[in-house]
């Protein structure tokens, strides 16, 4: 776990942004957008790709897990399926994470951001020892925040929305890091409905009751959990495709960093 005060004692430290999201949420496109944004505003950044199975990265990564491990070879060698291959590749990479950290440490004084892209299969990062080691190691040294990417057009049904939010809660409680909820693809569907559901409990209840998969009491209890979660959460609506909302996202990241510095 992060050591209290360890991050704020040094003069200049970059903010680590760990991008986590369900497959297809637009994580890679979002990373590309962040990358081009920091170039535009001349904020030096460092990009780490932790997805061994990504076929093509639309941005240059400073550190790429694919340079160290070939997950298809790993699958063959250990007789694994794709998910086992990705997990094992991440584990092998994590055994060398001290070297990665050395590289980052050397560059850190000149950097504003360190961006981490995580595997497309979200649970490989969020529920593995490797994911925890990488997250905790970075968070012990640098102000670290989690950006949880939501596929907004695919979250418009209240039941799906709630599932996605509960997943976000589980990641928040696992990492215990400041959190920015990123509603992506707002060029397709505006995230205003999500903001309404997060701030107006009754509006969400009403939407749920109209949903055919409504499960009464259980849902009511989960809503109470979510209400608590929403209170402390930062929300940004973005379009990774058009770049809309990215300035606001970085403002939320700055707030999250302040939270890290005061609480960790």
User: Out of 188, 192, 206, 224, which residue is the one contacting ligand GTP (CB under 6 A)?
Assistant: 188
Per rule CB under 6 A, is residue 159 in the interface with ligand GTP?
Answer: no
Q: Which is nearer to ligand GTP, 131 or 143 (CB)?
A: 131
Among 27, 191, 234, 252, binds ligand GTP (CB under 6 A): 27
Binding mask 61-90 for ligand GTP (x = CB under 6 A): ------------------------------
120 binds ligand GTP (CB under 6 A): yes
Residue 29 near ligand GTP by CB under 6 A: yes
- CB of 55 vs ligand GTP, minimal distance in Å: 9
Question: Residue from 239, 245, 256, 264 that binds ligand GTP (CB under 6 A)?
Answer: 239
Least distance from ligand GTP to the Cβ atom of residue 119, Å: 8
DSSP labels, the chain:
-PPTTTTTTSS--PEEEEEEE-TTSSHHHHHHHHHHHHHHTT--EEEEE--TT-S--SS--SEEHHHH--HHHHHHHHT--HHHHHHHHHHHHHTTHHHHHHHHHHHGGG-SEEEEE--SSHHHHHTSHHHHHHHHHHHHHS-EEEEEEEEGGGG-SHHHHHHHHHHHHHHHHHH---EEEEEE-TTTS-THHHHHHHH-HHHHHHHHHTSTT--THHHHHHHHHHHHHHHT-EEEE--TTT-TTHHHHHHHHHHHHHHHHHH-
Work out whether 25 is an interface residue with ligand GTP (CB under 6 A).
yes
């Amino acid at each position: 776990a992060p050591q209290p005060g360890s991050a704020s004692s040094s003069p200049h430290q970059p903010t680590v942004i760990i991008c986590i999201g369900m497959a297809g949420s637009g994580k890679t496109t979002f990373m590309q957008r962040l990358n081009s944004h920091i170039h535009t505003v001349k904020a030096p950044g460092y990009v780490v790709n932790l997805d061994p199975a990504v076929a093509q990265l639309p941005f240059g990564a400073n550190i790429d897990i694919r340079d160290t491990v070939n997950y298809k070879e790993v699958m063959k060698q250990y007789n694994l399926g794709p998910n086992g291959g990705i997990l094992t590749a991440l584990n092998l990479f994590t055994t060398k994470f001290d070297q990665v950290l050395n590289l980052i440490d050397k560059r850190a004084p000149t950097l504003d951001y360190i961006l981490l892209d995580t595997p497309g299969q979200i649970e490989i990062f969020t529920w593995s020892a490797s994911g925890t080691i990488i997250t905790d190691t970075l968070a012990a040294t640098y102000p670290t925040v989690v950006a949880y990417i939501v596929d907004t057009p695919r979250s418009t049904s209240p039941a799906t929305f709630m599932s996605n939010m509960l997943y976000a809660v589980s990641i928040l409680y696992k990492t215990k890091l400041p959190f920015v909820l990123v509603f992506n693809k707002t060029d397709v569907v505006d995230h205003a409905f999500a903001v309404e559901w997060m701030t107006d409990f009754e509006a969400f209840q009403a939407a749920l009751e109209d949903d055919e998969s409504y499960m009464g009491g259980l849902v009511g209890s989960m809503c109470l959990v979510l209400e608590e979660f929403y209170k402390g959460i930062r929300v940004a609506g973005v379009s990774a495709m058009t770049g809309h909302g990215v300035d606001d996202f970085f403002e939320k990241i700055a707030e999250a960093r302040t939270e890290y510095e005061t609480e960790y």
